[in-house]
């Protein structure tokens, strides 16, 4: 099964490509995002047109976007990672500790350490899922609590303050290039690399085949175990990167850093068209879903919607995305049956 999305578009005529983009799930999510921004700006023009408003619009969802891209890769393989929020928190705290325990350490080494730790935690998840043949939901639910417990035991009641980290590192959370936050640029670079990998490399396309039908992929000779393991490592590494960026963005890190991010990241991917049943979707959709999710959280109070309904809207979006995926899958199955009967 191939993904009906931007990332899986075939090289056809410009008109065919335009038609494909218009029909893509990501386009609908992008239109919804624009509509939310327009509505909030109409009520309060500073939401978009002030310097802080425009900056926050780009910057706030960036870290969740990096996490959602990794989660999207795992969901495409018909798995899920509930431990990413704990991974973000653990790597964020480790980032601060490295600057305290190793004075003068270069930020690049801290970045590499955060990504490596995240990749290691993802490797643990992937190994338990791929070799243990245990459902990812069960494994990552357990590791979510284990990783969070390690973080709480390590941090205790202590917290990392901005003064504990060098100014050159903290500036990463505030620097801009042509009015675009550096963290947003980093997130977009990660997104483009992940999207290119899934579309152009054979191992990336194999993830879709595994998610569509793991048994058939195994019979076809695909390295299912290796690919699932790689997907979890990528997810963990991106969560580790998000943890390092979290420390740079907020400056203050405690044991509850990243709390609840796993549900937001999964919600962003699902809203963006990554089917929870696997095999369908793109990281483009996951990224747009992350921006839509956090932009809604900022916009609805401005529009005057109460807190309860703010949460309800997000839930409705997630349920609606899952129902839509199911409807599209049923329709596709019906078309395949009709085409087979017509060929007889």
Weakest mean pLDDT among 113-122, 191-200, 235-244, 253-262:
253-262
Q: What pLDDT sits at residue 13?
A: 59
- pLDDT tens digits along 305-324: 777 776 787 788 778 877 77
DSSP string, 46-96: HHHHSHHHHHHHHHTTHHHHHHHHHHHHHHHTT---TTHHHHHHHHHHHHH
pLDDT digits (tens, 9 = 90+) for 149-204: 999 999 888 889 988 999 989 888 889 998 899 999 999 999 999 999 999 999 99
Q: Comparing C-alpha atoms, which of 178, 78, 52 is closest to residue 135?
A: 78
Whole-structure pTM over 0.75, yes or no? yes
Domains of the chain (ranges plus CATH)? 6-343 (1.10.3470)
Asked if residue 87 has pLDDT above 60, the reply is yes
Identify the three-state secondary structure at position 250: helix
- In 10 A of CB 340, how many CB atoms? 9
d(CA 313, CA 32): 13
């Amino acid at each position: 099964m191939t993904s009906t999305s931007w990332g899986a578009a075939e090289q056809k005529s410009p008109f065919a490509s335009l038609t494909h983009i218009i029909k893509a799930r990501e386009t609908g999510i992008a239109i919804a995002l624009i509509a939310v921004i327009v509505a909030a700006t109409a009520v309060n023009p500073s939401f978009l047109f002030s310097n802080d408003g425009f900056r926050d619009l780009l910057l706030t969802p960036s870290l969740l976007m990096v996490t959602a891209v990794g989660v999207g890769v795992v969901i495409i393989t018909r798995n899920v990672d509930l431990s990413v929020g704990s991974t973000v928190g653990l790597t964020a705290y480790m980032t601060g500790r490295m600057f305290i325990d190793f004075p003068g350490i270069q930020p690049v080494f801290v970045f590499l350490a955060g990504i490596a730790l995240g990749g290691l935690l993802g490797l643990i998840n992937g190994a338990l899922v791929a070799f243990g043949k245990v459902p990812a939901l069960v494994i990552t639910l357990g590791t979510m609590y284990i990783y969070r417990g390690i973080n709480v035991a390590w941090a205790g009641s202590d917290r990392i303050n901005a003064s504990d980290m060098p100014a050159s590192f903290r500036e990463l959370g505030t620097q801009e290039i042509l009015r675009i936050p550096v963290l947003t640029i980093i997130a977009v670079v990660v997104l483009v690399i992940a999207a290119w990998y899934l579309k152009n490399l054979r191992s990336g396309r194999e993830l879709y085949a595994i998610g569509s039908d793991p048994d058939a992929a195994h019979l076809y000779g695909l390295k299912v175990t290796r690919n699932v393991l790689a997907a979890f490592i990528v997810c963990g590494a991106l969560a580790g990167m998000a943890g390092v960026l979290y420390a740079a963005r907020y400056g203050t890190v405690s044991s509850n850093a990243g709390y609840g991010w796993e549900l937001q990241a999964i919600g962003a991917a699902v809203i963006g068209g990554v089917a929870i049943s696997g095999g369908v979707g793109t990281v483009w959709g996951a990224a747009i879903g992350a921006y839509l999710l956090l932009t809604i959280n900022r916009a609805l109070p401005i529009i005057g919607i109460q807190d309860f309904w703010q949460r309800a809207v997000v839930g409705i979006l997630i349920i609606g995305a899952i129902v839509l995926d199911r409807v599209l899958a049923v329709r596709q199955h019906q078309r395949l049956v009709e085409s087979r009967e017509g060929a007889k």
